[in-house]
Amino acid sequence: MSLPSTLPLSLITGERMTREEFLRRWEDLPGLKHAELIEGVVHVPSPVSADHGHFDDLMSGWLAHYRWVTPGCQGGHNTTWLMSGSAPQPDVFLSTSSRIEGKFHAGAPELAIEICVTSTEVDFGPKLALYQLAGVQEYITVETLGKRIIWRELKDGSYKPIQSGFDGVLRSRAFPGLWLNVAAFWADDKSALLATLKSGMETPEYREFAARLQSKTAP
């Protein structure tokens, strides 16, 4: 049996290429699920650990509850974005203004979340710089080993950390009512996590935000 004249080219961590070349090679590798191009450099992460999967699921579920009842919100996880010449894959995202180019999201979500287990160097380095440059309004990193969550907001072109309230709750500026009970998150207390979120979504700020989005999506 003869071999094809051209074989698919691999994606190698640290290799430099354009986004067009990156996406072309990826199409030739149907078995590859996770790879990112950040500022021209290919990043192929390690196999996903149990810790990463657990906290990804927890964060996705918390965000999904907000998205399901908030009109005009789009979300997902491990989805490729065409962003400022790069192609990152946020672990979780939330957006009200994304557009689709071909089969990918394009632009920048208002909120991106990364679960940091083996990817901390990338998430705190080139990926943070990319999200900042692209205009991702809020960026959350969840460090599983040190049990630390940093929620950043974009101010004057650079990220500043959002401080939790006296109650230990982190509150989004871009998405009113999106409240995160940090202690409940680390304790895997889903009831408390959702109770705090529900409290946020009962505020006048959230109702005004939801009504504004509803008016934009109404036919």
Question: Within 13 Å and on the Cβ side, how many CA atoms surround 26?
Answer: 17
* pLDDT at residue 32, as a whole number: 67
* pLDDT at residue 25, as a whole number: 85
* pLDDT at residue 10, as a whole number: 67
Using CB atoms within 10 Å of the CB of residue 197, give its burial: 0 to 12 exposed, 13 to 18 middle, 19+ buried. Answer: buried
Q: DSSP secondary-structure letter at 43?
A: E
Ordered by where they begin, the domains of the chain are: 49-214 (3.90.1570.10)
* pLDDT at residue 196, as a whole number: 98
H-helix segments, 9-106: 19-27, 50-69
Residue 185 in tokens: 């998150």
Tens-binned pLDDT, residue by residue, of the chain (219 aa): 333 333 345 677 777 889 998 888 878 877 666 788 999 888 887 777 888 889 999 999 999 999 999 999 999 988 999 999 999 999 999 999 888 998 899 999 999 999 998 778 889 999 999 999 999 999 999 999 999 999 999 999 999 999 999 999 999 999 999 999 999 999 999 999 999 999 999 999 999 999 999 887 666
134 vs 85: CA distance, rounded Å? 10
Contacts with 140 (C-beta within 8 Å, 6 or more apart), sequence order? 59, 111, 112, 113, 114, 149, 150, 151, 152
16 vs 26: CA distance, rounded Å? 14
**Per this entry, what is the length of the chain?**
219
Q: What angle do CA 161, 54, 197 make, to 5 degrees?
A: 55
Task: Report yes or no: 43 and 13 within 8 Å, Cβ to Cβ.
Answer: yes
* pLDDT at residue 170, as a whole number: 98
